């Protein structure tokens, strides 16, 4: 009896260990998935809306409501709520615009960066990830449509994967990072440049009130100077393209005599030559005979010229 009990106990131990092992793996996988979703939601619903709200405050509200001698106070809850509204509006506009482009717009699915797979995502990542909120920047007539389709594919992939099938590296690399990159650049670079300029002017002119106010104004409007710099670069590119287009048009109108498109294998009146339908157009027998006759005539003229004989030029054919 004791031997049977011990044998049954040893048989039940592997099953119990496997059960607890599976349960522990499931618990760990659940905690890991919950941690991924927590990180993603904190950044998407917390950091990004706060950054968007701070951009609105720095670029619009603070220079209007506060003077140079006042220290502006930023209400974080209101800023976060405003940024959350902006983010929701932008995401909804991307989805609706992509739907309109797919229904009525041009077929851009085959262009680089417009596909849903990772290869196409990486192909257009370099020139489109910088256009998270400004997709009209870039080269090409369909840059805005390509950027909208790209972000639509990213959002659709996350939605189609569902809660359990979250692709965390894809979401962080292709959704969170491009947006955070633009927000941090738009906030940190002007603040750093304005802070350094203010400190430098205060050190160089410590006792002058005018220079103090000028340094404070330079720091306050550093965001607008930063934005104006990029707007001027964009306008310079646009005007350069317009100038080149106007220059090419004037050159063509002045020196271009004319253009004429002639289909090989067709007559002047627009009727196909004999045998064009049978031989497939350009490779007809009549064309081959004409080419061979001209080649033979040219060889004969070369032989006569080499022998010292006078070469008779063919008479013009009068229609």
Per-residue model confidence (pLDDT) at position 36 = 93
**pLDDT digit string, tens, across residues 290-310:** 545 555 555 555 555 555 444
pLDDT tens digits, one per residue of 107-143: 544 444 444 444 444 444 444 444 444 444 455 556 7
Q: State the burial class of residue 224 (Cβ atoms within 10 Å of its Cβ: 0-12, 13-18, 19+).
A: middle
Q: For residues 125 and 117, what is the distance between their CA atoms, to the nearest angstrom? A: 12
pLDDT digit string, tens, across residues 59-72: 988 888 877 777 78
pLDDT at 269: 52
Q: Write phi, then psi, for 272 (nearest 5 degrees).
A: -70, 150
- What pTM, to 2 d.p., does this model score? 0.64
Half-sphere exposure of 35 (CA within 13 A, CB side): 6
pLDDT at 92 over 80: yes
Determine the Cα–Cα distance for residues 229 and 37; give it in Å rounded to an integer.
38
The whole-chain average pLDDT of the chain stands at: 74
């Amino acid at each position: 009896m004791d031997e049977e009990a011990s044998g049954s106990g040893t048989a039940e131990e592997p099953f119990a260990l496997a059960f607890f092992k599976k349960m522990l793996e499931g618990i760990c996988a659940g905690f890991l998935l919950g941690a991924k979703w927590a990180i993603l939601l904190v950044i998407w619903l917390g950091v990004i809306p706060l950054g968007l709200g701070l951009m609105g405050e720095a670029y619009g509200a603070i220079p209007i409501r506060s003077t140079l001698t006042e220290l502006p106070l930023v209400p974080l809850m209101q800023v976060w709520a405003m940024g959350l509204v902006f983010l929701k509006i932008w995401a909804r506009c991307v989805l609706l615009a992509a739907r309109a482009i797919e229904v009525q717009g041009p077929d851009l699915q085959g262009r680089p960066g417009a596909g849903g797979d990772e290869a196409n995502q990486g192909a257009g990542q370099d020139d489109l990830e910088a256009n998270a909120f400004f997709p009209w920047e870039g080269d090409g007539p369909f840059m805005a449509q390509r950027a909208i389709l790209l972000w639509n594919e990213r959002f659709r992939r996350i939605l189609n994967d569902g809660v359990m099938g979250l692709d965390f590296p894809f979401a962080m690399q292709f959704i969170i990072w491009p947006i955070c990159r633009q927000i941090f650049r738009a906030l940190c670079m002007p603040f750093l440049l304005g802070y350094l300029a203010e400190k430098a002017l205060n050190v160089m002119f410590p006792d002058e009130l005018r220079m103090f106010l000028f340094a404070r104004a330079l720091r306050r409007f550093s965001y607008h100077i930063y934005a104006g710099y990029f707007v001027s670069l964009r306008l310079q590119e646009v005007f350069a393209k317009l100038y080149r287009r106007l220059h090419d048009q004037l050159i063509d109108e002045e020196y271009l005599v004319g253009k004429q498109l002639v289909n090989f294998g067709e007559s002047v009146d627009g009727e196909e030559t004999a045998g064009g339908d049978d031989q497939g157009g350009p490779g007809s027998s009549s064309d081959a005979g004409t080419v061979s006759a001209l080649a033979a005539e040219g060889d004969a003229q070369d032989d006569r010229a080499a022998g010292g004989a006078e070469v008779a030029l063919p008479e013009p054919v009068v229609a």
